[in-house]
Structure 1
Amino acid sequence: MQSKKTSAAKPAVRVIKKYPNRRLYDTDTSTYITLAEVKQLVMTREPFVVRDAKTNEDLTRSILLQIILEEEAGGAPMFSEAALANLIRFYGHAAQAFMGSYLEKNVQVFTDMQARLAEQSKQFTPETWAQFMATQNPLVQGMMGNYVEQSKSLIDSLQEQMQKQTEQMLGAFGMGGPKR
């Protein structure tokens, strides 16, 4: 019985099949679902994968990008045109892999910070909430300071890695002699 409990505790990945007619079929509920319902799975952190019904190709990333596109086209976009243009400029650039990692880590730090704040706010009574509001700026500044410090660390790491790659590339072409 112990092994059944272990396997039951491990969440199964929900499989959604995408058919050529663009319809999404949730194999867990045996129903067709919308992109909005897939977004809800993301919001509730339910593990899922989207597969092409014919080829079994993983289409999860494509569906997630489609959700982002719909959200951006909606009322309040998250990315400005300048931010999107800068992201596009990284494609094909030597720093493309580093930028993806940098963005992923920064979003995770921000998400973790938001979760900690939400968890702390659950413990607030009206009195502690009043105290929190009175000291909001220092607390928020401290959390943002940690975020900025972690972000700076990631940038420093990115710059260091890019410098090493440049030195290796120049060395391969015989142009990376000692600095004078």
Structure 2
Amino acid sequence: MPEQKAAPVSKAAARVIKKYPNRRLYDTNTSSYITLSEVKHLVMERQPLVVRDAKSGEDITRSIFLQIILEEEAGGRPMFTEAALANIIRFYGHAMQGFMGSYLENNVQAFTDIQAKLAEQAHGMTPEAWTQFMGGQAPMVPGLMGNYAEQSRTLFSQMQEQMQKQTEQMLGAMGLKR
């Protein structure tokens, strides 16, 4: 069965997890304490959730997700190389910071969509077909990767156009025209 993209859900409709000062996580849906591993499981199941600081009510979902990523990265088979992490760090405080976040998000979503299409098309594949597929010889691979590359190029072009418009606006505001 094809994997469905999770529909955007408002934070109000999301499952609420409270984080207490003792670092414990409390699932208000099940009225029980849960572990970070269980929060990861909820994310993997595409269950909408929000993590709130129990004392202040502040939304700390991002920091919990970053903590899950940190634990996964430390767990033996990291996804990010040191070079990739260094490049991401370099974008903080850079004029491109705002664009980079949406660029990465859109590329990861495009890659996720490709993965879902592959899973849908691979249902019932024989071991021989998988071997051929993993060798890059399956006819669907170049098409899907070509679509991904095209989406990535389009996103990058949009990012460049936005930068150019912002630069022109800034120069115009300063009385300088091209």
Q: Fold conserved (TM > 0.5)? A: yes
Q: 1:30 to 1:131 in 2, by over 3 A?
A: closer
Q: Equivalent residue of 1:49, what SS?
A: strand
CA RMSD of aligned residues (A): 2.2
TM score, norm. by length of structure 1:
0.83
Give 1:47-58 correspondences, 5 Å limit.
Answer: 47-58=48-59
Could you tell me how far 1:93 is from its partner in structure 2?
A: 1.4
Could you tell me how far 1:174 is from its partner in structure 2?
A: 2.4
Distance of 2:23 and 2:95 partners within structure 1: 35
Distance of 2:139 and 2:167 partners within structure 1: 41
Q: Which has the larger radius of gyration?
A: 1
Q: Unmatched 5+ residue regions in structure 2?
A: 1-12
Give 1:119-158 correspondences, 5 Å limit.
Answer: 119-122=120-123, 124=124, 126=126, 130=129, 133=132, 136-158=137-159
Q: Equivalent residue of 2:16, what SS?
A: strand
Q: Which is bigger in relative contact order (C-alpha 8 A, separation at least 6)?
A: 2
TM score, norm. by length of structure 2:
0.84
Could you tell me how far 1:130 is from its partner in structure 2?
A: 3.9
Distance of 1:78 and 1:107 partners within structure 2: 13
Indicate the larger mover: 53-62 or 106-115.
Answer: 53-62
Could you tell me how far 1:125 is from its partner in structure 2?
A: 5.9
Richer in helix (by share): 1
Q: Equivalent residue of 1:25, what SS?
A: strand
Q: Unmatched 5+ residue regions in structure 1?
A: 1-11
